[in-house]
Amino acid sequence: GENVEQHPSTLSVQEGDSAVIKCTYSDSASNYFPWYKQELGKGPQLIIDIRSNVGEKKDQRIAVTLNKTAKHFSLHITETQPEDSAVYFCAASRGFKTIFGAGTRLFVKA
Amino acid sequence: EPEVTQTPSHQVTQMGQEVILRCVPISNHLYFYWYRQILGQKVEFLVSFYNNEISEKSEIFDDQFSVERPDGSNFTLKIRSTKLEDSAMYFCASSENQNRGYTFGSGTRLTVV
């Protein structure tokens, strides 16, 4: 079945450093790749997304890259701040179904 | 900003009992979803719903589960006979169309005892 692998499961960085989270997906029909941030006690919140016809997208300190051939996509957060600390989920979507990765717990140390 | 509203925030139920989890999606959204998250684990797809019918469902969504949109605003998930392993956080989400980001509710924590 469809699967999304996400690494690392935990990431600790110093404030101001960059953080990178990597995902791979198995379903070659996936054509939309959202990223969600989940804070304690809340539902996941969409932070950025990328479609299969685009290789890279940036929004302020956040960027995503997609390599469709390799079925890899990544989230890059630059100049991390303590408020970036949360669990981040990648996801791969086709049609009516979105499959989530297992999540990365990001700690940003002040 | 429009929100997806879920009630109750926490439900405790006896094993074997029926539960109904309620959601009010964003009003102009046409696609509705239920996901669950067992504590500390991944967000798992249960079901998607469009045009008053199930569009897709996962292996988790067996005969014990059902969804309904009883009126123009509510979207419910029913678990007919709860098991201990149904204990999880259940998230409702909605989206304007396919291949758009979802707006999630804050979840209902279901505890089966």
- Amino acid B100: pLDDT: 85
Query: Beta strand A72-77 with A62-67: parallel, antiparallel or unpaired?
Result: antiparallel
Contact: A95, B103; criterion CB under 8 Å: no
Contact: A43, B48; criterion CB under 8 Å: no
- Amino acid B41: pLDDT: 84
Cα–Cα distance for residue pair A30/A67, rounded to 1 Å: 12
* A56: pLDDT strictly greater than 90: yes
Mutate to test the interface with B, among A27, A36, A59, A96 (most CBs of B within 10 A): A96
Q: What is the pLDDT of residues B35-57, one digit of tens each?
A: 999 987 889 999 999 999 999 99
Tokens in use for A62? 């956040």
Contact: B42, A96; criterion CB under 8 Å: no
Contact: A44, B44; criterion CB under 8 Å: no
* B2: pLDDT strictly greater than 90: no
* A1: pLDDT strictly greater than 90: no
Where helices occur in A1-110 by DSSP H, the ranges are none
Residues 6+ apart with CB under 8 A from B64: B79, B80, B81, B83
